[in-house]
Structure formats: structure tokens, C-alpha cells
Amino acid sequence: MKKLRSLIISLAIITIMVSNGYALEFKNIVVFGDSLSDNGNLFSFTGSYPPEPYYQGRISNGPVWYDYLVEELGVTGITLNYAYAGAQTGYTNVNDDDFNADLPGFLDEVESYLSMAALSIKFPSAFAMPKDTLFIVWVGGNDMLSLNNPVTATAQVAESIANIQTALLSLIEAGASNFLIMNIPDLGQTPRANTNPTLSALATQISAGFNDGVDQVIYALNQNYPNIKINQLDAFSLLGDFIGNSSFYGFTNIDKAQLNKEEGFINEGIYLFWDDIHPTTSAHKIIAKKVAEAINCENCKANFPYFEADFTLKVPSAKLGDNRYGFSLVPYQNPAEPDRAFWVLDADSVEVK
């Protein structure tokens, strides 16, 4: 890392006011999904997978979006992550054969949550009960990755969409009313597919077809259950934005894997992809910010560092004085307003990563 010795920027004076809770719609977060969201569930079962240089059971080189989201939002309620690497939308998991086990699929994850909710009915404060919880769903990629025929893909996409609909209806019937549904990224843009034009085009087509089906499910649920709230995050378009505006996001490579599994070599730079299908922790950090914006809680934006239009830097007060974001803030005495607390950006602390 190198220090940025000069900044062409307005003096960053910050007045901090932080809210301690979410909007009234929810106080807990429960996540269902696959390796894109798994924060160590598969590793806890196997004790060894994924191995280093994968990071602490994550299928990435660092924390995944869920880790960043929970940390940055300062969740005051209960957070539960049921996501399991390899999970498909039904009861199957692509890692079953590798570990000779019946690992959870998405429907297993949801049923496991609902079983615990039923057991906790008399002790609602001890569990993330449906009516008080935001449910984040990001699943489907493992179903689509195995498809290589557009004719047979139609039936599989329909089955996968039906599984998601079944799960969402089960949660709604249990009292859930607040959701964030994330569609799948464009699989044709991943290193697994992007060097083969035919395969890439097919993977993109299948990804888009799956996402259209998810949109239809959400539309139907909104029509039939007007009192529930379903927000969406378009991961398909977000990946396109990462690729089309790579310099804005700081990526130095957008089409290759940073990890060379065959040789155990890690390429230098800020990569979009860690392996042939999974994003790096740098991408996960941005995804977490997008999730925070999508769920529209009262203090989401305030808990991520960002610049206002006038270049005023907004940061979470709990982080003042440290260097976790690549810069430090120090106290500043403003002669014009001596009775107020201000902070100023320490230009010598700014790091380009």
C-alpha cells in the first residue's frame, strides 16, 4: 500500500448523528442462500473446506457481504445466516457427493428456520421471529450452473422458481412480511464461462430467464399479499456495472480469477473474481453497501463512509479515529463553533489499497 500524500478535496468536516435502530418494519435479519452468502456453515460441517487461501470458511479471500452488512449496520436485533455453500433451490446440495452427506438445500434452510421459530413461539425475544425479521434470499446460481442445454434448461428453471415460491409462501404463512430478494448474477460473465463465447451466451440467457421467473414470483406475491414488503437487488445488473465501470470501483481485473487453484498462485491486484465463479471480498464489500441501501433502514447510509455532494465525508461515529476504511479522522476545533464536536480527515493517513 502506498500513502496518498496530497488530496484535492474540500476540507472534510464531519458532524455525526447516529441512530441506534432500524426502521420499525424489522429488527432482525435472517439470510438464506448458497456460497455467495455462506459465512462458514459448510466449513463448520467439514472442518476443512474451503481450505486456505480461502478465508475462514468463506468462499472468497475475505469476509462476504453478510459479514460486512452485520458489522457496518451495527445490528441491534438477532442475525442468523442459514446460507450453505452448494445449496440448490430445493433439498439438494452440489457438495453432497464430495462429502458423502445430505447437506442442506434452500428449502432445507427455510424449514430449519421455521422449525426453530415454531419451537420459540413462547420465547419470541430469544429468536428472530417472522413478524420482526427481514429475510434476505440469494439463491439459484447452483441450479443454473449445471445447465448446458437451452431445451432442458426451461424445465429446470421452472422447477427452481417453484422452489423459491414455495419457500417464500411458507415464510409468509408463518408471519413474515419483509423481504429482500436478490437475483443471480450474469453467469456468462464469470471466468468459468467468459472465455467461451457459446457457453457465455448460453449462461447469460439462462441467468436472465431465471431472473425473469423470480420477478414473476415477486409480482404475484405483491398482488396476492399487499401488506408484505419485498425489496429487490439486481445482482445481474450490478455485475454488469462492476465490469462496465471497473475503474470507478477500483478493480484492476474483471474477467480472470485472482486465485490459480492449479498452481496455488494468487495474482496481485484488486480482482472482481476470487475463483472461477465467486467474487472477491472487495466486491462483497460493495454488495453489502448495495444491500444496505436496498433494505432502506433508518441508519443504513449513515453507517457506511460516503461523500455528500459537497464532499462532506459521512462516517459511522463508532469508527472515528481508526483506520479500517483506509483513512483516519482526528478531532478538529472549529473556531466559528467552539461548542460543537467536529472531525477532520487526516490526509497523511489516507491509503490507496
- Structure confidence by residue, pLDDT tens digits, 205-230: 999 999 999 999 999 999 999 999 99
Mean pLDDT value across residues 274-287: 97
What sign results for the dihedral spanned by CA atoms 346, 349, 352, 353?
Answer: negative
What pLDDT sits at residue 317? Answer: 46
Report which listed range, 21-30, 119-128, 216-225, is most confident: 216-225
Local structure of 302: helix, strand or coil = helix
Question: In angstroms, how far is CA 90 from the centroid of its own chain?
Answer: 21
Mean pLDDT value across residues 138-162: 90
CATH class, domain 24-298, is: alpha beta
What pLDDT sits at residue 171? Answer: 98
What pLDDT sits at residue 296? Answer: 66
Report whether pLDDT(273) > 90: yes
- Structure confidence by residue, pLDDT tens digits, 295-352: 865 534 445 555 555 555 555 544 445 555 556 666 666 666 665 556 666 666 665 5
Report whether pLDDT(18) > 70: no
- Range in 20-24, 129-133, 194-198 with the lowest mean pLDDT: 20-24
Question: Average pLDDT, whole number, for the chain?
Answer: 84
With 0-12 CB in 10 A as exposed, 13-18 as middle and 19+ as buried, what is 170? middle
What pLDDT sits at residue 274? Answer: 98
- Range in 52-66, 110-124, 224-238, 303-317 with the lowest mean pLDDT: 303-317
What pLDDT sits at residue 173? Answer: 97
Local structure of 212: helix, strand or coil = helix
The Cα–Cα gap between 273 and 280 comes to 5
Query: Cβ(57)–Cβ(43) under 8 Å?
Result: yes
Q: Are strands 253-257 and 271-273 parallel, antiparallel or unpaired?
A: parallel
What pLDDT sits at residue 153? Answer: 85
Q: Grade residue 237 by pLDDT with cuts at 50, 70 and 90.
A: very high
Q: Grade residue 188 by pLDDT with cuts at 50, 70 and 90.
A: very high
What pLDDT sits at residue 311? Answer: 54
Mean pLDDT value across residues 175-181: 97
- Structure confidence by residue, pLDDT tens digits, 65-110: 999 998 877 677 899 999 999 999 999 999 999 999 999 999 999 9
pTM of the model: 0.79
Report whether pLDDT(292) > 70: yes
Smallest CA-to-CA distance from 29 within 90, 59, 71 is with: 71
Local structure of 76: helix, strand or coil = coil
Mean pLDDT value across residues 112-130: 94
- Structure confidence by residue, pLDDT tens digits, 242-261: 999 999 999 999 999 999 98
- Range in 8-17, 276-285, 334-343 with the lowest mean pLDDT: 8-17
Dihedral of CA atoms 272, 278, 281, 283 in degrees, nearest 10, equals: 40
Give ∠ CA 117-122-124 in degrees, rounded to 5.
60
What count of residues does the chain have?
353
Report whether pLDDT(272) > 50: yes
Mean pLDDT value across residues 56-64: 97
H or E stretch including 168?
A: helix 150-173
H or E stretch including 162?
A: helix 150-173
Sheet strand arrangement including 328-332: 13-14, 342-346, 328-332
Q: Domains of the chain: which residue ranges?
A: 1-19+302-353, 24-298
Own/partner contacts of 143-148, CB < 8 Å, gap of 24 or more, are 143/88, 143/89, 143/210, 144/184, 144/187, 144/203, 144/206, 144/207, 144/210, 145/187, 145/192, 145/277, 146/94, 147/202, 147/206, 148/199, 148/202
